Amino acid sequence: MASLNSVSRYQPHLLGVLRIMTGLLFLQHGLVKLFGFPPGAMPGKVPLMGLMGVAGIIETVGGILITIGLLTRPAAFIAAGFCAVAYWMAHGSQGFFPILNQGELAALYCFVFLYFVAAGPGAFSVDGARERKATA
């Protein structure tokens, strides 16, 4: 039986898949706020000139950049900070425990984005392709 350590060779690929899926899921939050897509999702389309509109812009632009792996570290840094602020503004004031204040998603996004800041984009990224081209 192969050692579980042998799966370490897939680390860059799994990091890339985690980045892509996290970016796509984060992007959904922005699309709902900016375009009301998909229809019926809350909060729906919001005014662009307001706190929720700014949140939608950060989620949309950040979600796209993180998904494609372009400027991953700075985009993830901004997204992590955004999620920390979102947690404390919208959830933390409603109690300490994220499971009770419905803040677990904001907290999880925050820490996953912080991981991307440290780990980089992984495989399947524009950043990685640009780096490979620069060293060739």
In a domain, 3, yes or no: no
- Which residues of the chain have a pLDDT value below 50? 1
Q: Is 84 left (phi over 0), alpha (psi -120 to 50) or beta?
A: alpha
pLDDT-above-90 percentage for the chain:
89
State which amino acid sits at residue 124.
Answer: F
In a domain, 52, yes or no: yes
In a domain, 23, yes or no: yes
Q: Count CA atoms closer than 13 A to 51's CA, side-chain side.
A: 5
Domain count, the chain: 1
In a domain, 5, yes or no: no
Domain of residue 107 covers 10-135
In a domain, 4, yes or no: no
In a domain, 44, yes or no: yes
Residue-wise pLDDT tens digits, 61-100: 999 999 999 999 999 999 999 999 999 999 999 998 999 9
In a domain, 81, yes or no: yes
